[in-house]
Amino acid sequence: MNRPRRKPKYKIPGSSLTWCFRSPKGKQSVNFTVWAVGEGSSFILPPSSFPSFLMSQNIRNLAIIAHVDHGKTTLVDQLLRQGGAFRANQVVAERVMDSMDLEREKGITIKAKNTSVLWRDKIINIVDTPGHADFGGEVERVMKMVDGVMLVVDAYDGPQAQTRFVLRKALSQGLLPIVFINKIDRENSNPKKVHDQVLELFLELHANEEQFNAPFLYGSARDGYAVRELGDEPKDMIPLLETILLRIPPPKVDPAAPFTMLVSNIAWDDYVGRIAIGKILGGEVHGSDLIYRVSKDGTRERIKVTKIFEYSGTHTNDSVVGVAGNIVGLAGFSDLDIGETLCGKEEQPALPFVEIDPPTIRMEFAVNDGPFVGRDGKLVTSRQIRERLEKEQKGNVSIQVEESERAGVYYVSARGAMQIAVLVEQMRREGFEVLVSRPVVITKSIDGKTNEPFENLWLELPEETLGSVMKVLSARKGAISNMETHPHSVTIEAVIPTRGLIGFEFDLMNLTNGRGVMSHLFLEYRPHAGEITSRLTGTLVATDTGVATSYALDQIQERGKLFITAGEDVYQGMIVGENPRADDLPINPTREKQLSNVRSKGEGKGIQLTPPIKLTLERAIEYIAPDEYVEATPKNLRLRKKFLRPEDRKREAKSAGV
Ligand SMILES: Nc1nc2c(ncn2[C@@H]2O[C@H](COP(=O)(O)OP(=O)(O)OP(=O)(O)O)[C@@H](O)[C@H]2O)c(=O)[nH]1
Ligand SMILES: [Mg+2]
């Protein structure tokens, strides 16, 4: 390998530096401008300034994968810190990679994102991935960009459903793993037991010998340390960075080949438009190069590269060249899809792309046809909604959008209700109003029989709630495959139709007072499991449009639970509460007390209304019945009947044969 002959001295950011080295072409020297000063490496150089044959040897591409909340993004913070990405006195937000508003608000990662640290003269490209099962598609596609993975496992919780899913994907791609058992600071954590559980998982998932011999490290991402052996003195993240350099191989790429890159991710920039993100598999690309974009159907389009981006620390930097092995972003596209090949020569073949797991649920997105349309949102037309959904489909491989047979209604398919809720939440922020239906599962016909998706479900419950949870599980057609009792809890493994899982978390939280923990994972398609009655309650439906009065609500709350409070605007067909019985009860929430000569309107003052139940978007989507919608606007979430007028509902029910 080529090594620099003379180690450059310590420099300050902005100063210039000449680096001499031997190369296959003889003695060479390159001039650099020092970017920043980092720990361990003494300085940080723009990666693009390395000559490309040196580059790929100096790059490590790594994805951080885990179950939700096991600490991936917190770990990335610490790696960036150790790599000198932050100035000594810089105030940095926690979980800097969770940069989307919605990510910060929900405290979870939604989109996979790239960054890099330069440590001991090596560029470590890191991809932070989401851990929530609904965003599994994001994880699958980044596997093609990296040469190794860091599997993070919580030292208390141990491997969970999504640990299994992401590890299986990584192992089947032949990637080498490093295991980081995180949160050893947690009380009652059991890193030794978790170590053994992870090894068992490796066996179960048929890891090859090299993968099975993965190094295990332990630590606390929150407190900023990693150790090789339990009991070692906790200091910093250096053991983890050293392990990455030792264990993760440099990318296997050919710097001498023509330029080739697989589009693994798409980002959007308001100035340059679509950005193709991926690892360069061969050759180099320069700003203003003419390259080819090969679509999945084989058509080739000539593109002029307008910008090259590199990802470093919390920044995106412009670069003059993208070199083989590096993960870069390219701009210059009017249209682009994930999975497409970019290449320098017209005759180059397209690269194969990993097929990712298909969506399992589908929902309707419809134009808001309620009387309050346009009150909160500016983007309400069918065309605006269609364009927004199409844009989402481009950047989000696991979402599919289709037109339905009805005007202004689109079908959106995804991996789970959470994924769709996130999309709706983003649309609300952008000023959209939209109606969304309850999710239905996507069925398949196999040998003439209807098959539906099934999932593995893992539950952990307080023991005393076991009976009631089992009852709900069996009503939802769950079949228990394993059960273990622990001193304070019970763990259950079950196989359940995806259909039975819709709204299940809501029940679980109610039955266990929020103490139940669940995770689930797509298993396979199996024959339809038969009827499942998911919601046993009916609704209280408004008969009139107007303002809800305390007087009316006071009477209504004796019938059921309220979703609204006095003073809120309501409309005919809107759902204002839950009826404990299965049918829908028409009520008038706008009714006012008849005024007599002596009584005044202010007489409602003494009325005590119970606080209304406010469902979050996710819960609301799973709560509603098939003939209902959630109306999502920038400021309000309302539940309503699909057909607002009772006579239309009757007609519809009749034609559906109910
Ligand atoms: N006690 C303890 N808590 C930690 C540690 N690392 C992370 N956490 C906490 O765990 C929670 C989840 O951390 P994240 O870094 O967001 O987890 P994540 O794996 O990125 O989560 P997703 O991206 O949503 O899958 C946060 O509240 C962190 O503060 C740790 O080492 N010890
Ligand atoms: Mg995260």
163 touches ligand 1 (CB under 6 Å): no
59 touches ligand 1 (CB under 6 Å): no
Could you give the CA distance from residue 56 to residue 52 in angstroms, rounded to a whole number?
A: 7
Query: In a mutational test of the pocket of ligand 1, which residue from 142, 222, 419, 422 has the highest number of ligand atoms less than 8 Å from its CB?
Result: 222
Q: Write the CA distances from 106 to 91, 251, 618, integer angstroms.
A: 22, 35, 12
Could you give the CA distance from residue 195 to residue 181 in angstroms, rounded to a whole number?
A: 7
For residue range 93-135, list pLDDT tens digits in order. 778 888 777 888 888 888 888 888 888 878 889 999 988 877 8
Low-confidence ranges of the chain (pLDDT < 50): 1-10, 38-44, 53, 599-603
Ligand nearest to the CA of 97: 2
Q: Would you say 640 and 575 are in contact if contact means Cβ atoms under 8 Å apart? A: yes
Q: Give 74 Cα–ligand 1 centroid separation in angstroms.
A: 6
Report how many helices (DSSP H) and strands (DSSP E) the chain contains, helices first. Answer: 16, 38
The protein residue with its alpha carbon nearest to ligand 1, atom 24, reads 108
Could you give the CA distance from residue 387 to residue 390 in angstroms, rounded to a whole number?
A: 5
Q: Give 64 Cα–ligand 1 centroid separation in angstroms.
A: 13
Q: Would you say 423 and 399 are in contact if contact means Cβ atoms under 8 Å apart? A: yes
Q: Give 222 Cα–ligand 1 centroid separation in angstroms.
A: 7
- Residue 105, SS3 per DSSP: helix
72 touches ligand 1 (CB under 6 Å): yes
Ligand nearest to the CA of 75: 1
Residue type, 578: E
Could you give the CA distance from residue 109 to residue 141 in angstroms, rounded to a whole number?
A: 16
Kindly write down the DSSP assignment for every residue of 529-574, as one continuous string. Answer: ---------EEEEE-S-EE--HHHHHHHTTTSEES--TT-EE-TTE
182 touches ligand 1 (CB under 6 Å): yes
Could you give the CA distance from residue 416 to residue 441 in angstroms, rounded to a whole number?
A: 9
111 touches ligand 1 (CB under 6 Å): no
Backbone Cα Rg of the chain? 28
Q: Give 454 Cα–ligand 1 centroid separation in angstroms.
A: 29
**Ligand 2 ion: Cβ-proximal residues, 5 Å cutoff:** 72-73, 109
CA angle, 247 as apex, 245 and 253 as ends, to 5°? Answer: 80
74 touches ligand 1 (CB under 6 Å): yes
For residue range 183-226, list pLDDT tens digits in order. 999 988 999 999 999 999 899 889 999 999 999 999 999 999 99
Count of beta carbons in the 10 Å neighbourhood of residue 462 = 15
The protein residue with its alpha carbon nearest to ligand 1, atom 8, reads 71
In ligand 1, the atom with minimum distance to the C-alpha of 219 is 31
Task: State the SS3 of 508-528.
Answer: HHHHHCCCCEEEEEEEEEEEC
**Short-list 294, 312, 293, 313, CA closest to 304:** 293
Could you give the CA distance from residue 232 to residue 246 in angstroms, rounded to a whole number?
A: 20
Ligand nearest to the CA of 163: 1
Q: Give 63 Cα–ligand 1 centroid separation in angstroms.
A: 16
Query: In a mutational test of the pocket of ligand 1, which residue from 65, 69, 237 has the highest number of ligand atoms less than 8 Å from its CB?
Result: 69
The pair of three-digit structure tokens given for residue 455, joined into one six-digit string: 């999932």
130 touches ligand 1 (CB under 6 Å): yes
Is the pTM here over 0.85, yes or no? no
- Which residues 6+ apart lie within 8 Å of 405 measured at CB? none
The protein residue with its alpha carbon nearest to ligand 1, atom 21, reads 69
The protein residue with its alpha carbon nearest to ligand 1, atom 9, reads 71
Q: Give 133 Cα–ligand 2 centroid separation in angstroms.
A: 12
Q: Would you say 39 and 82 are in contact if contact means Cβ atoms under 8 Å apart? A: yes
185 touches ligand 1 (CB under 6 Å): yes
Query: In a mutational test of the pocket of ligand 1, which residue from 64, 74, 225, 237 has the highest number of ligand atoms less than 8 Å from its CB?
Result: 74
Measured between its terminal Cα atoms, the distance across the chain in Å is 75
The protein residue with its alpha carbon nearest to ligand 1, atom 12, reads 69
Count of beta carbons in the 10 Å neighbourhood of residue 143 = 22
68 touches ligand 1 (CB under 6 Å): yes
Q: What is the dihedral of CA 331, 332, 338, 339, to 10 degrees?
A: -110
Could you give the CA distance from residue 135 to residue 359 in angstroms, rounded to a whole number?
A: 11
Could you give the CA distance from residue 120 to residue 114 in angstroms, rounded to a whole number?
A: 20
Q: Would you say 12 and 23 are in contact if contact means Cβ atoms under 8 Å apart? A: no
Q: Give 65 Cα–ligand 1 centroid separation in angstroms.
A: 12
Q: Would you say 119 and 83 are in contact if contact means Cβ atoms under 8 Å apart? A: yes
Kindly write down the DSSP assignment for every residue of 204-259, as one continuous string. Answer: HTT--HHHHT--EEEEETTTTEEESSTTSPP--SHHHHHHHHHHSPPP--BTTSPP
The confidence score (pLDDT) of residue 42 equals 43
67 touches ligand 1 (CB under 6 Å): no
- Residue 139, SS3 per DSSP: helix
79 touches ligand 1 (CB under 6 Å): no
In ligand 1, the atom with minimum distance to the C-alpha of 75 is 15
The residue count of the chain comes to 658
Largest CA distance in the chain: 106
Q: Give 75 Cα–ligand 1 centroid separation in angstroms.
A: 8
Q: Would you say 104 and 98 are in contact if contact means Cβ atoms under 8 Å apart? A: yes
The protein residue with its alpha carbon nearest to ligand 1, atom 11, reads 69
Kindly write down the DSSP assignment for every residue of 476-508, as one continuous string. Answer: TT-EEEEEEE-SSEEEEEEEEEHHHHTTHHHHH
The pair of three-digit structure tokens given for residue 160, joined into one six-digit string: 């969970």
131 touches ligand 1 (CB under 6 Å): yes
73 touches ligand 1 (CB under 6 Å): yes
The pair of three-digit structure tokens given for residue 294, joined into one six-digit string: 């090969």
368 touches ligand 1 (CB under 6 Å): no
The confidence score (pLDDT) of residue 260 equals 93
The confidence score (pLDDT) of residue 47 equals 52
Q: Write the CA distances from 257 to 46, 192, 283, integer angstroms.
A: 23, 46, 5
Packing angle of the helix pair 238-247, 72-82 (nearest 10 deg): 90
The confidence score (pLDDT) of residue 41 equals 44
Ligand nearest to the CA of 95: 1
The confidence score (pLDDT) of residue 2 equals 43
129 touches ligand 1 (CB under 6 Å): no
- Residue 84, SS3 per DSSP: coil
Ligand nearest to the CA of 183: 1
78 touches ligand 1 (CB under 6 Å): no
The pair of three-digit structure tokens given for residue 633, joined into one six-digit string: 């606007």
Residue type, 482: N
Could you give the CA distance from residue 13 to residue 34 in angstroms, rounded to a whole number?
A: 5
Kindly write down the DSSP assignment for every residue of 2-28, as one continuous string. Answer: --BSSPPPP--TT-EEEEEEEETTEEE
Q: Write the CA distances from 287 to 114, 277, 318, 334, 615, integer angstroms.
A: 20, 15, 10, 17, 50
User: Alpha helices of 398-465 — where are they, by DSSP H?
Assistant: 417-429
At 82, which helix (H) or strand (E)? helix 72-82
Q: Give 67 Cα–ligand 2 centroid separation in angstroms.
A: 9
Q: What is the dihedral of CA 161, 165, 166, 171, to 10 degrees?
A: 130
State how beta strands 122-128 and 59-66 pair: parallel
Q: Give 136 Cα–ligand 2 centroid separation in angstroms.
A: 13
In ligand 1, the atom with minimum distance to the C-alpha of 70 is 19
95 touches ligand 1 (CB under 6 Å): yes
